[in-house]
Structure 1
């Protein structure tokens, strides 16, 4: 009985008439057409953005690239390598660098793959819920967000974590429709891996928990498929064997509830195993993560960097479209569709209003959640218009007017702001300075043959000449300084131990000018290093002993 009801639920969720079959050819065409979206997006980024030649797309690129380089050189288990983030993305970079050498181009292509995965997961998720129009709208709404394209090409952890997190949500939706536990297990494994890219992926557990809880509630009420099969309209509560009343639904609903709970348990086990599997490959120190993110110094220094909800008004098309999605909560048929996306948006607001500091790339969280909710809202508007022709009541005409208004306003705002915003963002990333035109990189490459180590406050310079930075000094962001996990004495100790052949200083290390102004550190540099008169910047030093200088 459960198998029959499961098939019926799949037909209901797919929007096809009961008993209708999809031909293999139609299914193949549908899947191929869906694959066009990520492939086309990846091709556009590779064609339009100077992935191979750009020096830097964001200030975090250098840290991620240098960690990958050090991992490829055998420093994966080195306790002296400071890292407050999970290691999975760095492990992927290690594989790339071992195969093709240290290449920013290879790392950026990996970022493009994650960006394409995110778009495909968003499209597929919304398409399963409201159809093609809503899915296409969700993708467009995300692409026009100014935060999306820069994070799609710059090597930074946030987008890969969100992409794998969305893949976990999509796999869970496959489980919700097929009742096949392997999808729940895959969803859990994907979430475990997403958390091993960056722990902010844990925000994407919210829609999973909400959907699981909603499924438990529907099955507790005697609906084994998760759809309202026995409600309203005088329908018989037992649609498979009419006339037997609700007892069958209660019994099968109880069995379905147990199966649903087992799927949730399988999700947890798979998530834990996937997370632990990565943890065995690399040394992880969660005390470093906690101290760098939640120490008193970090909270005090980052108190001014706060999220303001007003900033979301800079994306008016997203706000209007997500408002249409929010309206689904008032619809009995659409409530389950929007519940997970609405819960995600609410949790994002609460978390980011409370958490300090709020980094600009966190806006990606809102872009994805609002695009999901907006796609649901616009897709449901179109579906509602298609199915409202035979109803001539006043309420129905008001609903038609509201749907038309939401669609027209969203489309107008999208056409007004979207193209200009995308063009401006593309011009920004295309204008990134080329590696070949950077005089400091050219100068440092002249002395690469005798260089084993480089100390620099901009580690991407060292990466572009394929020279490692001492592990203790490879990652020195502001939060490491604020939390007291590095001092001038630590820097002096590392320099004395490694004696890097080149030093390249371009600005305040970790955003703190005084970190490199300690007298003993300055004296060490002056006594052991010299500057060439033709150096393009005064902060470039060479080790005296390496070049035979007294």
Structure 2
């Protein structure tokens, strides 16, 4: 195994996430890509409007909690309305996730296996892309991972010296346990005020405290653990309530109307969710196979290891199995616990390779009677063989992002170059307004597929917005059906100035 124990703990604790930060900056074209995902424009439009004094939820339509919008708005005021600055903020959150993940695994398995597991997380599908995309999912998950690391610090015996459920001998461990629990609950509460889907991880964290971290703990109930779980849950709930009081309250009609509208769910996703979840597992099949070995070890050989990643995976699976639609950016909810479990499996693979002349054990005769170590070793070889493929796919996708950005950036330059002053830009590509330094009507900050499917952004509503704001320019290029529905009104009041690459730009006739 990699011998990292000799290095100072602080060097690894900070060095690994900083290394990830540097690699992501080097690999990902954050300055040359218009958008890694259309949701980037939505988040930037909301943050820009909020920074100019418009309030969330009314008039800014928004179906998400407010915290990332508030943070992003303040960040852009501090560093300027630049796409690189916004993506660096999200990359900072991703670095927190990576650092928390590494340090959590280091508590359980040591720094060598933790480093291998963390590198595996980097290589999961779309992880680097999501690490620089101005979206809510990864920042919310980063705070959850930080909360989990703090839980491990106070509950896993290897490091804490006084695990929850045992009787501390001194005042210092008691103080640390309580502060750690409260800090962890606060982090989880903050994550819920970024994106509500992290509520799926509440059972995993609460059971980790209330029932015990491992299979051995689960076999014996202790009231001290339950009290710790309730303290953590109270800190989490209080954080959510305080932020809810200090920020605009989240209207249930905007949330439920888009996220749980039955008609829109069916129209946006035809495959059953359980099948898509299986496809998620197949995306990184090498890690999924190793994770299977990790689950076996949890129940057969190492019942002292934390069950949290398995409970996490089960909670997410049950929560999403009947929810629609599932987007690709939900995948980290699955990939993080899978890689965690796969790292458990790695321990058996390395035990296999430590054997003298281990390669002889791959003879076809020995394959008739496989061992857990041999199976794990085979899965590890499979993972190593797939690594160049994953790197090549990431490089290809980055090339595509940059190539697709060039014609759209040219249109945006034309939008900026209009001699007449432009106050409003009506567009189904909110990222264009951010690049052009213009505002979209607050009701259009969230111009999304889900909102169109749910009916909250109907053709009549879009026409009303056009009539109310009389935007000087219109730029359409994402939803052809929307453009076709608006064409009669646009033809009457606007003139086309550009039509190419599936993008059409209109200018108000009075500005000709």
Which TM-score applies when normalising by structure 1? 0.79
Of 316, 328, 353, the residue aligned with 1:348 is: 316
Mapped to 2, the partners of 1:484 and 1:348 lie a distance apart of 28
Mapped to 2, the partners of 1:352 and 1:61 lie a distance apart of 23
When residues 362 and 447 of structure 1 are mapped into structure 2, their CA distance, relative to the original with a 3 A threshold, is same
Structure of larger gyration radius: 1
Deviation, 1:206, is: 2.8
Of 68, 71, 95, the residue aligned with 1:89 is: 68
Deviations 1:342-362 (A, max 9, x none): 222222333332211121222
Please give the secondary structure, in 1, of the residue aligned with 2:507: strand
Q: Is 2:158 the counterpart of 1:187? A: no
Match of 1:455 in 2: 426
Mapped to 2, the partners of 1:431 and 1:535 lie a distance apart of 18
Give the 5 Å matches for 1:94-133: 94-133=73-112
When residues 28 and 449 of structure 1 are mapped into structure 2, their CA distance, relative to the original with a 3 A threshold, is farther
Match of 1:213 in 2: 210
Q: Is 2:264 the counterpart of 1:264? A: no
Match of 1:29 in 2: 8
Mapped to 2, the partners of 1:449 and 1:182 lie a distance apart of 58
Q: Is the 8 A contact 2:345 2:376 kept in 1?
A: no
Match of 2:347 in 1: 379
Match of 1:297 in 2: 263
When residues 295 and 365 of structure 1 are mapped into structure 2, their CA distance, relative to the original with a 3 A threshold, is same
Mapped to 1, the partners of 2:381 and 2:269 lie a distance apart of 38
Of 138, 150, 158, the residue aligned with 1:171 is: 150
Match of 1:539 in 2: 504
Q: Is the 8 A contact 1:345 1:366 kept in 2?
A: yes
Mapped to 1, the partners of 2:66 and 2:424 lie a distance apart of 23
Mapped to 1, the partners of 2:146 and 2:294 lie a distance apart of 21
Deviation, 1:296, is: 2.2
Deviation, 1:382, is: 5.1
Deviation, 1:154, is: 1.6
Please give the secondary structure, in 2, of the residue aligned with 1:335: coil
When residues 212 and 537 of structure 1 are mapped into structure 2, their CA distance, relative to the original with a 3 A threshold, is closer
* Range moving further from structure 2, 261-270 or 358-367: 261-270
Deviation, 1:451, is: 0.7
Q: Is the 8 A contact 2:441 2:469 kept in 1?
A: yes
Mapped to 2, the partners of 1:406 and 1:133 lie a distance apart of 21
Which TM-score applies when normalising by structure 2? 0.84
Stretches of structure 2 lacking an aligned partner (at least 5 in a row)? 165-176, 356-366
Deviations 1:79-117 (A, max 9, x none): 121111111111111011111222111111112112211
When residues 48 and 473 of structure 1 are mapped into structure 2, their CA distance, relative to the original with a 3 A threshold, is same
Q: Is the 8 A contact 1:448 1:465 kept in 2?
A: no
Deviation, 1:191, is: 0.7
Deviations 1:299-332 (A, max 9, x none): 2213414442155234232122101211123336
Match of 2:288 in 1: 319
Mapped to 2, the partners of 1:543 and 1:464 lie a distance apart of 20
When residues 272 and 448 of structure 1 are mapped into structure 2, their CA distance, relative to the original with a 3 A threshold, is farther
Q: Is 2:393 the counterpart of 1:427? A: no
Of 467, 492, 500, the residue aligned with 2:463 is: 492
Mapped to 2, the partners of 1:54 and 1:29 lie a distance apart of 38
Q: Is the 8 A contact 2:130 2:138 kept in 1?
A: yes
Of 28, 32, 39, the residue aligned with 1:60 is: 39
Deviation, 1:381, is: 6.1
Deviation, 1:504, is: 0.7
Mapped to 2, the partners of 1:183 and 1:484 lie a distance apart of 45
Mapped to 1, the partners of 2:394 and 2:418 lie a distance apart of 36
When residues 132 and 496 of structure 1 are mapped into structure 2, their CA distance, relative to the original with a 3 A threshold, is same
Q: Is 2:490 the counterpart of 1:505? A: no
When residues 259 and 449 of structure 1 are mapped into structure 2, their CA distance, relative to the original with a 3 A threshold, is farther
Match of 2:247 in 1: 281
When residues 322 and 448 of structure 1 are mapped into structure 2, their CA distance, relative to the original with a 3 A threshold, is farther
Deviations 1:143-185 (A, max 9, x none): 2212212111222211111111111111111121445111111
Deviation, 1:78, is: 5.4
Match of 2:201 in 1: 204
Stretches of structure 1 lacking an aligned partner (at least 5 in a row)? 1-25, 229-252, 388-397
Q: Is the 8 A contact 1:328 1:338 kept in 2?
A: no
Mapped to 2, the partners of 1:428 and 1:448 lie a distance apart of 36
Mapped to 2, the partners of 1:161 and 1:200 lie a distance apart of 9
Mapped to 2, the partners of 1:426 and 1:282 lie a distance apart of 41
Number of residue pairs matched by the alignment: 473
Mapped to 1, the partners of 2:429 and 2:419 lie a distance apart of 17
Deviations 1:35-70 (A, max 9, x none): 111111111111222212221112221111111111
Please give the secondary structure, in 2, of the residue aligned with 1:539: strand
Of 297, 315, 320, the residue aligned with 1:328 is: 297
Match of 2:373 in 1: 404
Mapped to 2, the partners of 1:537 and 1:447 lie a distance apart of 21
Deviations 1:119-161 (A, max 9, x none): 1111111111122233123212212212212111222211111
